Amino acid sequence: MPRSTKHFSVLFDTSFLITAYDKSRNSFMVANNYLKYFITNKSLMYVSSIAIAEYERKGTVEEVLAPYSYIPLDFTARDAIICAEFANISEAKDRSAQRDAVKDDVKQPAQACHHDINFVITDDKSSFAKYCISLRDLGKLETRVITLDYYDESYFRGGQRTLPI
């Protein structure tokens, strides 16, 4: 079961890293608001070796990782086993999905599952978030997905929104 959200954990996917450090991206401000929240609240901030490799193809990852205390997360054999299960489930549910793309999109959710990470955050709604939500709906993934549509702290309060008084 994922850790309590008092000091919760979050896994940053590649699209979040790109968005948080590219001012030209539409969701740049939203990503930075979440990043500030995570830092202020002493969240455990994980970055997968998979995201590091993908980011390095577009830019220098050291510039991104240096300012903060990210926890590197290596892809393990247990992560691979969970990934295979997630890929099989996702492919069976979405017959139109390309096999390699599905396998790649469920690697980080598999890591989040194996390492009991509370949240994954992404700007990829078309595949990464879609697979996370589907796996949650099927009871295979407890980790919640945050997309960069808008900034909303209610994720961290169990969905409770602040009411104006």
pLDDT digits (tens, 9 = 90+) for 19-29: 998 999 999 99
Task: Give the best-scoring range by mean pLDDT among 29-33, 38-42, 58-62, 90-94.
Answer: 29-33
Q: Is the pTM of this model over 0.85?
A: yes
Mean of per-residue pLDDT scores for the chain: 87
Domain 7-149 sits in which CATH superfamily?
Answer: 5'-nuclease (3.40.50.1010)
| 17-23, Cβ contacts within 8 angstroms, sequence gap of 24 or more | 17/47, 17/51, 17/55, 17/61, 17/64, 18/55, 18/58, 18/59, 18/123, 19/123, 19/148, 20/64, 21/59, 21/63, 21/64
